[in-house]
């Protein structure tokens, strides 16, 4: 089997790049003849088509990447298999996607979204995102690297550190977490809430809004926004520094940071919806707050990034849910339970680690990929 994996290569620390890179590395570990290429690099992709002659090209992204990861290899007679996430609504390329013999998606919820928006479910297989369980491991709080992370963030040894990681924090449910923390602050042990976000202009504006909320709630002295660029090398230590990983995400097709937190032996607090229904087990590896509200829209405005002219209006035949909000009271209750019980945190963290190693280790995911290629496409 010869496989070409298309993603943001060389990889940045972002989710899609990490998703592709771990599949690439997993396939290499299993002895598959595999190469990686940037999904937008037409010249380099064509170079691989001509000399490598891959049996299959796996493109990582969302439906808007169709021109790069599906149409481009098809023009050269190469079989594309997209590995897709969802962003709320599949607005274009249904005909192209339905012509494919196989589509991979990151969770059963993503599969439901594609079926809802007109894609043939018989062609869709779920392949979860891998996790590097050799790097994301439980680390003692006495480890100098963990102590250094907490010191740099201004978290003292006696404080419980709650962590959220994302491109921005609000999309990962940080505003709901802050509201919950304000509700339980007078009952909770000493705590700090750290939001690690990616530095970009959109994030700066969102950060200001989030911090204004924290100030309004009266918890701004306990909320820390870390906005530095970091590498994947640092991430296991950032995860290892926290006591509770909290991300009741508003839109999440898989939940890579939640899985990485589990691999580090951390209890997770999330939302009972979307990809988390695949990755987390309520009451065992995580607490999942119920959905309090769904954000529903009747139309969207799209542009060139989606294969349309600018300001293209799409009106839905029926309203679409594009965002979720977790129940703030449940977040607070679960958070308080975790904060007050160190043995529960340890128990859930261990269960989370066991689950990730068994189901989401990047080599396990690569093995599942090979099995799907064998069964669905007859590629060996």
Whether residue 196 sits in one domain with residue 333: yes
Sign of CA dihedral 23, 29, 30, 33: positive
* 335, 188 contact by CB (below 8 A): yes
Instruction: Give me the CATH number covering residue 71.
Output: 3.40.50.2000
What beta strand segments (E) does 39-177 contain? 56-61, 80-84, 103-105, 124-126, 160-166
**pLDDT tens digits, one per residue of 31-65:** 999 999 999 999 999 999 999 999 999 999 999 99
- What value does the mean pLDDT take over residues 207-222? 96
In Å, the largest CA–CA distance within the chain is 65
- Tell me how many domains the chain contains: 2
Mean pLDDT of the chain: 95
Question: Which pLDDT does position 57 carry in this prediction?
Answer: 98
pLDDT in tens, 144-185: 999 999 999 999 999 999 999 999 999 999 999 999 999 999
Q: Let me know whether 174 and 61 are in one domain.
A: no
Residues 275-330 have pLDDT tens digits of: 999 999 999 999 999 999 999 988 888 777 777 888 888 888 788 888 999 999 99
Does residue 174 lie within any of the structural domains?
Answer: yes
pLDDT at site 321:
86
Q: What is the pLDDT of residues 77-90, one digit of tens each?
A: 999 999 999 877 78
Residues 6+ apart with CB under 8 A from 278: 107, 108, 109, 126, 128, 254
Please state which of the ranges 223-237, 312-326, 359-373 shows the lowest mean pLDDT.
312-326
Joined tokens for residue 8: 């943001």
**Structural domain boundaries, residue 270:** 144-290+327-359
What 3-state DSSP class applies to 37?
Answer: strand
Q: How far apart are CA 257 and CA 370, in angstroms?
A: 25
DSSP 109: H
Same structural domain, 20 and 85: yes
If asked whether residues 354 and 368 sit together in one domain, one would say: no
Q: Report how far residue 332's alpha carbon sits from residue 285's, in angstroms, rounded to the nearest whole number.
A: 17
52 and 125 housed in the same domain: yes
Residues 6+ apart with CB under 8 A from 225: 169, 195, 197, 207, 210, 211
Residues 6+ apart with CB under 8 A from 114: 63, 84, 86, 90, 97, 103, 105, 121, 124
Q: How far apart are CA 14 and CA 129, in angstroms?
A: 13
């Amino acid at each position: 089997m010869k496989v070409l994996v298309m993603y943001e290569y060389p990889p940045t620390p972002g989710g899609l790049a990490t998703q592709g890179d771990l599949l690439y590395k997993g396939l290499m570990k299993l002895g598959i003849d595999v190469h990686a290429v940037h999904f937008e690099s037409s010249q380099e992709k064509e170079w691989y088509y001509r000399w490598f002659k891959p049996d299959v090209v796996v493109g990582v992204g969302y439906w808007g990447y169709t021109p790069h990861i599906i149409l481009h290899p098809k023009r050269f007679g190469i079989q594309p298999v997209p590995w897709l996430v969802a962003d709320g609504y599949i607005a274009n390329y249904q005909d192209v996607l339905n012509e494919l013999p196989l589509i991979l998606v990151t969770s059963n919820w993503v599969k439901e979204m594609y079926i809802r928006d007109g894609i043939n479910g018989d062609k869709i297989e779920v392949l979860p995102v891998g996790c590097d369980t050799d790097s994301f491991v439980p680390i003692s709080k006495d480890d100098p690297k963990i102590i250094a992370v907490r010191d740099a963030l201004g978290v003292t040894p006696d404080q419980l550190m709650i962590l959220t990681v994302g491109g921005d924090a609000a999309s990962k449910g940080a505003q709901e977490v802050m509201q919950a923390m304000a509700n339980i602050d007078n009952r909770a042990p000493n705590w700090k809430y750290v939001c690690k976000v990616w530095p970009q202009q959109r994030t700066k504006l969102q950060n200001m809004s989030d911090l204004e909320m924290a100030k309004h709630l009266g918890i701004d002295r306990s909320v820390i926004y870390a906005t530095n660029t970091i590498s994947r090398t640092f991430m296991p230590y950032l995860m290892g520094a926290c006591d509770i990983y909290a991300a009741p995400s508003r839109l999440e097709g898989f939940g890579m940071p939640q899985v990485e937190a589990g691999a580090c032996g951390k209890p997770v607090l999330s939302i009972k919806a979307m990809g988390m229904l695949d990755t987390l087990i309520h009451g065992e590896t995580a607490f999942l707050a119920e959905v309090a509200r769904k954000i529903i829209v009747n139309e969207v405005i799209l542009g060139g990034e989606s294969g349309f002219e600018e300001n293209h209006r799409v009106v839905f035949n029926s309203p679409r849910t594009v965002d979720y909000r977790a129940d703030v009271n449940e977040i607070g209750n679960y958070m308080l339970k975790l904060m007050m019980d160190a043995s529960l945190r340890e128990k859930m963290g261990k269960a989370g680690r066991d689950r990730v190693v068994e189901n989401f280790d990047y080599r396990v995911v690569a093995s599942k990929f090979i099995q799907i290629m064998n069964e669905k496409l007859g590629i060996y």
